[in-house]
Amino acid sequence: MTEQFTGRRVVTNMSLSLDGRYARPDNPLDMSWVLPYAQTDVARDHLTGLWEPATTALLGRVNAEGFLGFWPTVIGMEGADPRDEGFAKWLVDADKVVLSSTLGAAPWERTTVVDRPTAEAIADLRAAEGGDILVLSSASVIKALLAADEVDRLALTVFPVFLGGGPRLFEDGLPEGKWTLTAQAAGEHGTLSLVYDRVR
């Protein structure tokens, strides 16, 4: 008998290089290596499948500034892919929680700034009503959630490039645990999307 998940799921999404990195070693903010692959059907469909059941976006400050600075501009953009526009509208309308010890007030609508440990913040979100809690490419937040064994669904897009260095998502010392593959797709340029659910 399969155990049904009850409550709000914590879903994390991250893009990785084939050698397991999420950023370049020399310039962590340079995401140009992601762009050719992020615009593929498999990557867009992957993200759509993650945000549709979610009602809350959880971000670190740096990613919040990047995501919320760019994505709202996609709404109504000429030639925009409907999946990109759909995600942009979702992001604007969703409840957003930004984890930050330096941001005093949120400059974005429907956004709460939280200056607490990630595990405490996620416990509060789990206790509230709503759909999935989607963590969007915020490595520091995802690492903290993995270390606390608080990730229910681990979503990855793997791109066929070596970055040759840079930070890794999966570090030594994570809690031992099993995961089950619930979705997979391969697409243009060798882009691979993977979705794993935590077995508890």
Q: What pTM did the predictor assign?
A: 0.93
Residues, the chain, total? 200
Q: CATH class for domain 20-199?
A: alpha beta
pLDDT of residue 1: 37
CA distance 198 to 200: 6
| pLDDT band, very low/low/confident/very high, at 6 (cuts 50, 70, 90) | low
The model's pLDDT over 154-175, given as tens digits with 9 standing for 90+, comes to: 999 999 999 999 999 999 999 9
CA distance 108 to 118: 20
Which residues is 11 bridged to in the sheet?
134, 153
The model's pLDDT over 29-83, given as tens digits with 9 standing for 90+, comes to: 888 999 889 889 999 999 999 999 999 999 999 889 989 999 999 999 999 999 9
Radius of gyration of the chain (CA): 16
**Residue 5, pLDDT above cutoff 80:** no
Q: How far is CA 34 from the centre of its chain?
A: 14
CA distance 118 to 151: 12
Domain boundaries, the chain: 20-199
CA distance 93 to 104: 22
DSSP string, 10-78: EEEEEEEETTSBSS-SS-TT--TTTHHHHTSHHHHHHHHHHHTTEEEEEEEHHHHHHHHHHGGGGTT-T
Q: Which residues contact 146 (CB under 8 A, 6 or more apart)?
A: 12, 169, 170, 174
Instruction: Give the DSSP H or E segment for 196.
Output: strand 192-199
Share of the chain above pLDDT 70, in %: 97
Tokens representing 170 are 């999966």
